[in-house]
Amino acid sequence: MELWTSPTPNGWKVTIMLEELVEAGIDMSHVTVRNINLGKGEQFAADFTERNPNQKIPVLRDGDVDIPESCAILQYLGEKYPTSLLPNDHIRWQVLPWLYWQAANIGPIFGNKLSYTRYMDDIPEAHKQHPLERFGNEALRLVAVLDRKLGDNPWICGSTFTVADIAAYPWIRGYKWSKVDITTRPRVLEWVERVRARPAVERGLAYGVPKDEVDKWSAERRASYKQGGATIADNSNIKDSI
């Protein structure tokens, strides 16, 4: 099995999952990890595009099957290696919708909020106002949904840590970077700390970054991510006539 990834929120979901499976007693030593340099545009290379036409990390190859999309990879690994991370009884249907919820909501909304907050210095402030407001408000609404869903439970789907927690965590933990103020939601903050305290999460976050940068990037790394991230919103090649 081969994982092509980068130290970014969507990448960390999978490296955390691999480490959680190890923690559950599964031998994952057959998985090799290749770090894709997004800043250098390696996601646009022919060999990458062949594995994922959407040209984004992460992508997992198992035998001759390529699986892109972080949440699909979590589901694939959860099904291939059955553990409580993805229950295989009817409880699965209390978990999978929250995996999809992350993919369809938290990822895109926090990703866009982050882009407009951090990566688009070349866009006039006035043009950023609307997207910042729209994605900022929606991100806060999603945090309120997460808060309600957690209720008095330790994890998103109740008393068991699952792929739903793995998927949501990397985006929520970056709330200072995306400037989504979750501090008014103590339950969400406590959940962030609870997830971070798991040994497998500690190891999963450390793929591709020096140990002392797991929780706080160096100025150089911030600058290089900022540079790479700018391509996410670059629409200079879209013709006005479309």
Q: Which residues bind ligand GSH (CB under 6 A)?
A: 8-10, 38, 43, 56-58, 69-71, 103, 107, 231-232
Indicate the residue among 167 and 185 with the shorter CB distance to ligand GSH. 167
Taking the complex as a whole, the smallest distance from the CB of residue 103 to ligand GSH amounts, in Å, to: 6
Q: Which is nearer to ligand GSH, 185 or 228 (CB)?
A: 228
Q: How far is the CB of 89 from ligand GSH (least distance, A)?
A: 26
Residue 201: which region, alpha, beta or left (left: phi > 0; alpha: psi -120 to 50)? Answer: alpha
Burial class (CB in 10 A: 0-12, 13-18, 19+), 25: exposed
Name the minimum Å distance from CB 208 to ligand GSH.
Answer: 12
In whole angstroms, give the CA distance from residue 96 to residue 162. 10
**How far apart are the C-alpha atoms of 76 and 208, rounded to whole Å?**
23
Q: Based on CB atoms, which residue is closest to ligand GSH, 58 or 204?
A: 58
| Half-sphere exposure (Cβ direction) of 110: Cα atoms closer than 13 Å | 29
Q: How far is the CB of 146 from ligand GSH (least distance, A)?
A: 18
Choice between 11 and 185, CB closer to ligand GSH: 11
